[in-house]
Amino acid sequence: MSEAKLRYEKVGVVGKITFDNPTALNALTAQMWADLGRVCKEIAQDRSVRVVTLRGAGGKAFLSGTDITGFLDFTSGKDGIAYEARMDEYVGAVEALPQPVLAIVEGWAVGGGLALSCAADFRIATPSARFGSPLGRTIGNCLSAKGYARAVAHVGVAQAKRMLLLGEMIPAQEMLSLGLLHSIVEPEELDDAAQAICERLASMAPLTMKASKEAMRRLTYRALPDIDDLVEEVYGSHDFATGVRSFLEKKGKPDWTGA
């Protein structure tokens, strides 16, 4: 079994970030999340990088979320507030990159995978790709205010409710019809399609890209409400603790009690 890691390489003017944990469908460990934040800071300062790509290793998943074993150590809802703040920092580092970002999605984009695909500026996907954040039927946690704002800004309230309340995984073709994908590409054509988009983006004026991205990012997160009370209630609940244990022990969906 290969070690879970985040890989970064620069190929010409393209900075390539790879989520490499295929045995766990590229779920990110705490170290991988921290490495993502560090790499993004490095990329932001590198003017020779004109485009950034995000991709999962192995071809079966873009990113299936977070390695949740760390949740077993949570003792109160305040741990959840701190965790969501860290996620905001890491996902926000991708969103705040001055360079345009392309997410190359094969297979599952779940939870943190959905968040990072939305943090990118463009998404291309294979026909098998699926997008969602089924928190209510898996471990029973929730998002931060920024997490909800990001989802609504990209997919709209109706689709966000399908993902978050019904726990639906939306297929690539439907995401394309909703305007949330740039294109659907067969696996054997994916590299060429990504390269073509990267070349087009790299030909654009960097400062225009930076200003446009940052202006839209600020608009998305202006006047966010404080929802720490909601986050604390959810992460401090019996349901959340039960959901984590049931998920890790593969016991199936918990018997939610609302407490």
Per-residue pLDDT, averaged over 52-79, amounts to 95
Residues 106-122 have pLDDT tens digits of 999 999 999 999 999 99
Percent of the chain at pLDDT above 90?
97
Per-residue pLDDT, averaged over 13-26, amounts to 96
Longest dimension (CA), the chain: 54
pLDDT for res 198: 98
If one counts every other C-beta atom within 10 angstroms of the C-beta of residue 184, the result is: 18
Checking if the pLDDT of 151 tops 80, the result is yes
In this prediction the pTM is 0.95
Alpha-carbon gap, residue 56 to 18, rounded angstroms: 5
pLDDT for res 1: 43
Checking if the pLDDT of 177 tops 60, the result is yes
CATH homologous superfamily of 5-186: 2-enoyl-CoA Hydratase; Chain A, domain 1 (3.90.226.10)
pLDDT for res 253: 85
